[in-house]
A and B are shown apart, each in its own frame.
Chain A
Amino acid sequence: MKCRRCKAPAVVDVRRHNAAFCRECFLHHTREQVRRAIDEHDMIAPGERVLVAVSGGKDSLAAWDLLRGLGHAADGLYLGLGIGEYSDTSGRYARDFADARGLTLHTVDLARDYGYDVPGAAAATRRAPCGACGLSKRHLFNEVARDRGYDVVATGHNLDDEAAVLLGNVLRWETGYLGRQYPVLPASEGFVRKVKPLVRLGERETAAYCVLTGIDYIVEECPMAAGNRHLGFKEMLNALEDRSPGSKAAFLFGFFERGHERFAADASEERDELHPCRVCGSPTTGEVCSFCALRDRATVSDEHTIDLVLRPTRRRSGPRRRSPADAHRAERP
């Protein structure tokens, strides 16, 4: 195959664009896709401080690298989830990336700072590990961004991630989630703006970007994610994409353009019901936000939610700070 732009030998084919690219033209393509996503959705204004949620995987490291390359002031935040060797390795990739480039990487460790880890939380709550993990991430990325004065949180969610989430939301007609699924979630009381600058790139493209730019990332999949529903949706969409290139992009971008707005009222209804969590002050629909409830159940302690509610300033294990943010999965994606 020849590069579509310069006719040199190609190294990556991108079937949904009916194109292949050489290294240099592919890197140009990825930068342009990210620039276009940021511009189309007003994700980041000039001079704003960005906090990138970094996992040590291909998407978040590519996002950090691309945002820096486009001139944005972006620091990283790594969240130690306590998933054994997988967390040790992924944290090492995140630190090595930051150290090699002289970048600022903040680190929060669930066990050290909050007294629980993801496997323990999943067992204690009898929830899927990915649920406890996602809830913790949403809450803490927002909290750190607020506490440290960042204007926006950027995540490495890519086109495949968002198409799979959309499929899951449509299959269950989760209208509240559909009303919030968008490349930008605006800032609101208690929440920092959240953006997904890789939404125009498939995960094959973000992986290729890392390989071609020499970014080392953890290739191994999280052991707790194996067999989850989200990965199953991705397999189904890739089977469709293989037969009909461009299907994932048409599905997702068509929803953003013509479907998302139709569900906005469902999302608004839930936002209207928010009030402060009695433990941490984060916006929530209940008395205690989901993060505080999860932490309470997952922490090895004789304290329980009712104690927290009655004594909201009491410290538990680790250097706990007051949390201004909420991770209630029914409130924010």
Chain B
Amino acid sequence: MKVVLRNPRRELQLDGPTTVQALLGRLEINPESVLVICGDTLVTRDAELADADTVEIRPVISGGATR
């Protein structure tokens, strides 16, 4: 499957099928810090990802220093 990462944008080719949770674990990404979008649909961490899927792992953490 094609996996799109952001900040900076880059692409990986990984073997499927797998689950969102397993994919994030393999990439050592904290599930709290991202959304996973398969095609154009948000998916939960138990979702199955097929070998032919395009998956975006979108970071959600933002912000400069504030008081």
Contact = CB atoms under 8 A, between A and B. Distances in A.
Interface of A: 1, 10-13, 15, 20, 57-59, 128-131, 133-134, 157, 160-161, 164-165, 168-169, 174, 177, 180-181, 203-204, 206-208, 211-212, 219-222, 224-225, 228-231, 234-235, 238-239, 241-242, 329, 333
B64 A13 contact: no
Given A13-B44, A177-B67, 5 more contacts: A11-B41, A11-B42, A11-B44, A207-B58, A231-B63
30 contacts: A1-B44, A11-B43, A13-B45, A20-B44, A130-B65, A133-B64, A161-B66, A169-B67, A203-B61, A204-B35, A204-B60, A206-B60, A207-B35, A207-B60, A211-B35, A211-B37, A211-B42, A219-B6, A219-B58, A221-B61, A222-B64, A225-B63, A225-B64, A229-B65, A230-B64, A230-B66, A231-B61, A235-B61, A239-B30, A242-B31
Given A219-B7, A238-B32, A58 B66 contact: no
Interface residues of B, number: 25
Given A212-B42, A219-B6, A235 B33 contact: yes
A177 B65 CA distance: 13
Interface in B16-67: 30-35, 37, 41-46, 58-67
B21 to A, nearest CB: 10
A129 B63 CA distance: 12
A157 B65 CA distance: 12
A203 B62 contact: yes
Contacts, number: 103
A228 B66 CA distance: 11
B10 to A, nearest CB: 13
Contact of B66 (A13, A157, A174, A203): A157
A211 B41 CA distance: 9
Given A219-B6, A219-B59, A221-B62, A238 B37 contact: no
Contacts of B37: 211
Contacts of A229: 65
Contact of B64 (A169, A208, A228, A329): A228
Nearest to B60: A207
